[in-house]
Structure 1
Amino acid sequence: MRVCVKLFAAVRDIAGDEKVELEVSESADIAEVRAAMIAKWPKLEPYSRFLNFAVNQNYATAATRVAAEDEIACIPPVSGG
């Protein structure tokens, strides 16, 4: 299935777009979405363990299942004062 992922900050810069489509299995979870992103953009690898995801505006774990119609957001770490 195809899922759409919204991207922010450095992740958006690496991917070159604010929204991307990825091909994942019908039983995909966030771990598979993360793996698909790293496979497509290897420069994300150093950030991979720090990336947070939200599904339908709720923070998600690696085991959270996703569906084609879900709103998925990849949220990189932020810092500042």
Structure 2
Amino acid sequence: MRVLYFAWLRERLGRDSDEIDPPASVATIADLIDWLAANDETFALATAKRELIRAARDEELVDHQTPLAGAKTIALFPPMTGG
């Protein structure tokens, strides 16, 4: 699975993506964020305010309780503004 990072999240992490293979216990976007934070201190600091992190599963906006099963790409980003 590929995880993409955008905007200030990408800047804080110093990378734009990761290729990962999370364990079966990582079943939702929230689980994924928790797992990534537990395994990467920089990620944990960048996502300390989880309510600010938005997500997309295979290019569709989703909430943190969305299942990961079958996902090829997860995108994580801060709130978007219009303009």
Query: What's the CA shift for 1:22?
Result: 3.5
Find runs of 4+ consecutive structure 1 residues off by over 6 angstroms.
none
2:31 corresponds to 1:29: no
Identify unmatched segments of 5+ residues in structure 1: none
CA contact (8 A) 2:57 2:71 kept: no
Q: Distance in 1 between matches of 2:28 and 2:63?
A: 9
Q: Distance in 2 between matches of 1:69 and 1:46?
A: 24
Match of 2:44 in 1: 42
TM-score, structure 1 normalization: 0.75
RMSD of aligned alpha carbons: 2.3
Query: What's the CA shift for 1:26?
Result: 2.2
The alignment partner of 2:56 has SS state of strand
Aligned length: 79
CA change 1:50–1:26 in 2 (3 A) is same
The alignment partner of 1:46 has SS state of coil
The alignment partner of 1:43 has SS state of helix
Identity of aligned residues (%): 25
Query: What's the CA shift for 1:79?
Result: 4.6
Match of 2:65 in 1: 63
